[in-house]
């Protein structure tokens, strides 16, 4: 059985809230969040649902031990949405700070996703 990858966050109950913005870095933040969930790092959550104050999503976020926000760019929409709803973001990752230029390009390359995921994993494992 393959060993499950974990972040150094010390908790199995981690909520991951991606940006999912219209730019490439927003789309990439969502792809990275999906991959992190697949690898057992945490649970992908709906950031827009937090903005809408959807009761079930609010309860899920409240029940999380740690919250990771993956923002696409320095506008920090995911982090700000969580903070405005009263949540503490334990770890913020900004995709554009990982060497990816923000653009309107929506077709993400598999290698770009893999490279970015590797960088994000390094960040999470070094906490």
Q: Which domain holds residue 83?
A: 14-99
Predicted confidence (pLDDT) per residue in 61-93, tens digit: 999 999 999 999 999 999 999 999 999 999 999
Q: Judge whether 69 lies within some domain.
A: yes
Q: Judge whether 108 lies within some domain.
A: no
CA dist 23 to 30, 81, 104, 114, Å? 11, 18, 5, 18
In the predicted structure, residue 1 carries a pLDDT above the cut 70 = no
Q: Judge whether 91 lies within some domain.
A: yes
Between these two residues, 27 and 10, which has the higher pLDDT value?
Answer: 27
In the predicted structure, residue 9 carries a pLDDT above the cut 60 = no
Q: Judge whether 52 lies within some domain.
A: yes
Asked if 72 and 104 touch (Cβ cutoff 8 Å), the reply is no
Q: Judge whether 118 lies within some domain.
A: no
Q: What is the mean pLDDT of the chain?
A: 91
Q: Judge whether 79 lies within some domain.
A: yes
CA–CA separation, 34 vs 48, rounded Å? 16
In the predicted structure, residue 38 carries a pLDDT above the cut 90 = yes
SS3 108: coil
Provide the domain count of the chain: 1
């Amino acid at each position: 059985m393959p060993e499950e990858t974990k972040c150094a966050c010390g908790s199995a109950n981690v909520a991951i809230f991606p940006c999912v913005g219209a730019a490439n870095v927003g789309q990439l933040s969502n792809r990275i969040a999906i991959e992190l969930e697949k690898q057992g790092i945490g649970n992908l959550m709906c950031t827009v649902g937090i903005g809408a104050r959807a009761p079930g999503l609010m309860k899920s976020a409240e029940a999380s031990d740690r919250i990771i926000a993956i923002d696409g760019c320095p506008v920090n929409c995911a982090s700000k949405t969580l903070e405005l709803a009263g949540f503490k973001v334990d770890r913020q990752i900004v995709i554009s700070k990982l060497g990816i230029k923000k653009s309107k390009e929506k077709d993400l390359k598999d290698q770009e996703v893999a490279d970015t995921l590797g960088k994000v994993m390094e960040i999470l494992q070094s906490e």
